[in-house]
Structure 1
């Protein structure tokens, strides 16, 4: 933005100083014209009257300036509630509402913003599993249309670097001056001081997270750090939003437990946050959300049944639930909460596809009835004991196939740690020409690397998945192989096998 009179590069708004200098310039020009027009014959009283009118005009122009500046600021800055009224200690520390962004690409313009506040737990942390669950089956397009904002007080997070680099995960924390003095809180509703402090801090954490999220996307979803997501949750949420888009609602519920899975329009967040901050010391956040509904639609002259019916119009419950609570140890020390959403149902532990006839073999010992054949046919997942270096899974097609692409997923939503690590995807071409072999050997074929036994390496597992295209120069494929390159510390589970766009023989 320019520092002198004129428009900015986008031609939409004046710099604050530009508006002032414009008013000053116009006023000075007016006074100059008045002074030039005054002749010695003009009486002093007339001259003073003209000056008085000029001063009044200047006051009017200044008021217009103030209104213009306010509109410019409203357009350029995200809307914020009157936080300094409800948290007066913030006045002592400028910028105390500004988040500290530790990790991420500051992505904006997405459909869904998922907020995940996390705090230290004495017994067990669930955060990594929660994030892996949310990312588990997102497609490439879905990953570009979502951002997960993790709110932390202590930053010791050095995981999921690929998700952070791509912008799908951001990690923020508040200014150290954001929180008030919790020692002066009053005990209410029979809660001890420690619980009052815990629920008050939760209100402030959620409010801060919502303030940060409001400018990043169209909808905001409140989650917790000890949940699992149902496969396909992203598409399920978007479809349901489209169904109720033209209807009146304040939030949509994608879980029946507490505040988990509540979806809001980001345009409604300033009002919601202001209400939370206004009563942050008084009640838990799920009670406050219910009070917003009461304020908006309940008639004090009607009975409770009428009130509940009216509130139901502003909150829509989606079933089955898309998020399940899995944490046992609460962030409130000593609290055990074995809460389960009965509407969540069972998780999908594998995904079947139609694959071409093939002979299957593996050096990895299977567990119980979870065989490789059942996984390949889409009837189950393959579960094998701890892989060692040079272990493999071999898929030999009955007849050579023109394979265009592949997708392998290891682990599932319940056993996500049992993955392939340091494992490559290889193909055995049928009659690859000498020229192609030479290109692969010289590294001139970008897709591929050679193996000593005739297989060509075309990909590898990353975050439990391997997907890619098969270069047409390799011709028809006789076999595909997953080859382990180092000893693993865990078992392995193969939950999805898909050969893409095959021309079946």
Structure 2
């Protein structure tokens, strides 16, 4: 009897690839292939629900010019029909424009898509409730992938309890372009199955693999084996990561999941300096994603050096035109990376500079403005200190070598209003 039960489960799994899809609020045209599909399965939670905040973060942090290049597929994966109907209408009312144009798609699965979730294999010493939860979750993912496999060139898996950073789509594009060898999966979060990006051409194979082992292990493990089968031998994780887990109460009733991605940083500028036109130069090793100018820009962004500063490393803020300054504030480190700060540094105002052909900057007639304190430079009342001299350049010098990398999250320059 036991063997027959197992055979019936496996045979039903083999039919899933040919299941039918139900999409809420269908639009009357064929979807054109886009750059990226973001898939989000969601179910009812007994306590906190983070889904709408997740969707807001993804949409608000997508630049408008990127909206026509993405699809977001919401899979209402709960078995409660009333909840699905109500949630679909909430989404449609809040995001009606992108639902109507097909950018945001809301789907559900037919009941017959799912195998029996009774008499599951006892693995990882999990209790029955958890085995049912993770087995159903595997099937949820597979259904979402099969629906999404032809929508776009790439597909990224998302959970319903995350937030992201502004411009994340462009950062994903840049990271893809940086890859010099063939790859199967790029990761934009180190946690679970959040922010995993695949070529869409692999989605059907991935779905079949996860379905084959749907009751044996969670997708967090299966996808790593799948990547090896498609000849990616090691993980490719983009750091800093782009998605942070915010959920505390899991979709598994009673489970607490306070996981945080230690490589995520969402740094907002708060000082809003005048920041007259200038270029930022440094002797530190830089990354194309976190260039020094981002710390000075009035837009969100920060500089993250990809090596620890050593003694006599420098950062120069070279003004396009000499400036009369009132205050300078430089903030380093972050909540997620508090050690990536200026430990020992001095700040000088340079009245004249010499730039050599190799972009090397030499400063002359320097006026000392202060040492760093707990990762921060604060130099105010500068009209008095500078004796009304015009400043050509600001120079940060590291006076001791450091152990940790460096984040400059904001450089705020305030000019004198008397000029």
Which structure: greater helix fraction? 1
User: Are 2:22 and 1:88 equivalent residues in the alignment?
Assistant: no
User: Are 2:110 and 1:175 equivalent residues in the alignment?
Assistant: yes
For 1:121, which of 19, 39, 45 is the aligned residue? 45
TM-score normalised according to structure 2 size: 0.57
User: Are 2:172 and 1:252 equivalent residues in the alignment?
Assistant: no
Which residue in the other structure is 2:378 paired with? none
User: Are 2:247 and 1:331 equivalent residues in the alignment?
Assistant: no
Which residue in the other structure is 2:197 paired with? 263
Which residue in the other structure is 2:222 paired with? 288
| Contact 1:104–1:169 (Cα < 8 Å) also in 2 | no
User: Are 2:98 and 1:139 equivalent residues in the alignment?
Assistant: no
Per-residue CA shift, 1:153-183, capped at 9, x if unaligned? 3232223222312322111010121111112
In 2: Cα distance, 1:191 partner to 1:222 partner: 25
| Contact 1:90–1:96 (Cα < 8 Å) also in 2 | no
In 1: Cα distance, 2:114 partner to 2:24 partner: 19
Is the alpha carbon distance of 1:332 and 1:378 closer, same or farther for their aligned partners in structure 2, counting shifts above 3 Å? same
Is the alpha carbon distance of 1:208 and 1:331 closer, same or farther for their aligned partners in structure 2, counting shifts above 3 Å? same
1:65-214 matched pairs, under 5 angstroms: 87-89=10-12, 97-103=19-25, 105=27, 107-153=31-77, 154-157=84-87, 158=90, 159-214=94-149
In 1: Cα distance, 2:21 partner to 2:169 partner: 27
| Contact 2:72–2:105 (Cα < 8 Å) also in 1 | yes
Is the alpha carbon distance of 1:240 and 1:113 closer, same or farther for their aligned partners in structure 2, counting shifts above 3 Å? same
Which residue in the other structure is 2:291 paired with? none
In 1: Cα distance, 2:269 partner to 2:118 partner: 47
In 2: Cα distance, 1:90 partner to 1:279 partner: 10
User: Are 2:241 and 1:321 equivalent residues in the alignment?
Assistant: yes
In 2: Cα distance, 1:272 partner to 1:257 partner: 19
1:214-253 matched pairs, under 5 angstroms: 214-244=149-179, 246-253=180-187
Is the alpha carbon distance of 1:224 and 1:287 closer, same or farther for their aligned partners in structure 2, counting shifts above 3 Å? same
| Contact 2:13–2:211 (Cα < 8 Å) also in 1 | no
In 1: Cα distance, 2:15 partner to 2:141 partner: 22
Per-residue CA shift, 1:283-337, capped at 9, x if unaligned? 111111122244455xxxxxxxxxxxx722xx31111110000001100000011
Secondary structure at the aligned position of 1:184 is classed as coil
Per-residue CA shift, 1:98-128, capped at 9, x if unaligned? 1110135463311010000101100011110
In 1: Cα distance, 2:24 partner to 2:272 partner: 39
Which residue in the other structure is 1:311 paired with? 233
| Contact 1:325–1:340 (Cα < 8 Å) also in 2 | yes
Residue 353 of structure 1 deviates from its aligned partner by: 9.8
| Contact 1:328–1:337 (Cα < 8 Å) also in 2 | yes
For 1:273, which of 204, 207, 210 is the aligned residue? 207
Q: Any unmatched runs of 5+ in structure 1?
A: 1-83, 298-309, 357-376, 381-505
Per-residue CA shift, 1:57-82, capped at 9, x if unaligned? xxxxxxxxxxxxxxxxxxxxxxxxxx
Calculate the aligned-residue CA RMSD, in Å: 3.0
Which stretch shifts more, 325-334 or 270-279?
A: 270-279
Is the alpha carbon distance of 1:237 and 1:278 closer, same or farther for their aligned partners in structure 2, counting shifts above 3 Å? same
| Contact 2:187–2:195 (Cα < 8 Å) also in 1 | yes
In 2: Cα distance, 1:147 partner to 1:134 partner: 11
Is the alpha carbon distance of 1:87 and 1:379 closer, same or farther for their aligned partners in structure 2, counting shifts above 3 Å? closer
Secondary structure at the aligned position of 1:199 is classed as helix
1:407-418 matched pairs, under 5 angstroms: none
Query: How many pairs were matched up?
Result: 261
Task: From the CA coordinates, give the structure whose radius of gyration is larger.
Answer: 1
TM-score normalised according to structure 1 size: 0.48
Per-residue CA shift, 1:425-471, capped at 9, x if unaligned? xxxxxxxxxxxxxxxxxxxxxxxxxxxxxxxxxxxxxxxxxxxxxxx
Q: Any unmatched runs of 5+ in structure 2?
A: 1-6, 78-83, 277-296, 301-419
| Contact 2:191–2:261 (Cα < 8 Å) also in 1 | yes
